[in-house]
Structure 1
Amino acid sequence: MPRVPSAAATRVGSQIAFFRTRRGMTQDQLAVTSDIDSSNIRSYESGRAMMNVHSLIRIAEALHVEPGDLLEGVTSDMFPATQRRTG
């Protein structure tokens, strides 16, 4: 299944980039610290992909922030309709 970019992925990615640069880390350093491939870090930060919960927690730990800090401002309407659940 192809990756579907979303406003949520873009928002989370910008939060990751914000906290990473605030800590003075490169994408490669974040990749090593979080044990996530650097190509995935680049995809997350650019909003091309949304990580799973486990990866979100590993990135938050590497950045010394709470996972919720990376989700700040994300709402359900930021996901494509195919990913939203009704009822």
Structure 2
Amino acid sequence: MARTASAAAAYIGARISAARKARSMTADQLAVASRIDSSNIRGYEAGRSLMNVHSLVRIAEALEVDAGELLQGVIAEMFVQER
């Protein structure tokens, strides 16, 4: 079973991935545009890790979306880590 940091990490990662694909960008292109290592981008999109606010804003700017759009639908209970 794939390990996720939390339901929030998986949800936000999926939103980043969808926004990136809607713009016909590769993960490597998003990495360059956001100045975040491509392995981190892949980890975020897979839900294996949750980025900090600074990285979220950099990703949103690279995708030309509001950071809030990537967070839309996130609720506090999603941050409880699964064991």
TM-score of the aligned structures, taking structure 1 as reference length = 0.87
Aligned to 2:78: 78
Partner of 1:84: none
Name the structure 1 match of 2:47.
Answer: 47
User: After superposition, what is the alpha-carbon deviation per residue over 1:27-69, rounded to whole angstroms, capped at 9, x for unaligned?
Assistant: 0000000000000000000000000000000000000000001
Query: 1:5, CA displacement in angstroms?
Result: 1.1
What is the RMSD computed on CA atoms of the aligned residues?
1.4
Task: Give structure 2 stretches of 5+ with no counterpart.
Answer: none
Q: Secondary structure at the match of 2:30?
A: helix
1:8-19 equivalences in 2 (<5 Å): 8-19=8-19
In 2, the alpha carbon distance for the partners of 1:26 and 1:50 equals 20
TM-score (normalizing by structure 2): 0.91
Q: Aligned pair 1:61/2:24, yes or no?
A: no
Equivalent-residue separation in structure 1 for 2:56 and 2:75 (angstroms): 16
SS, match of residue 78 in structure 1: helix
Letter paired with 2:63: L
For 2:42, give the aligned amino acid: R
Using the aligned pairs only, state the percent identity: 60
Structure 1 runs of 4+ aligned residues shifted over 2 Å read none
Q: Which residue of 2 aligns with 1:85?
A: none
- Deviation of 1:72 after TM superposition, in Å, equals 1.1
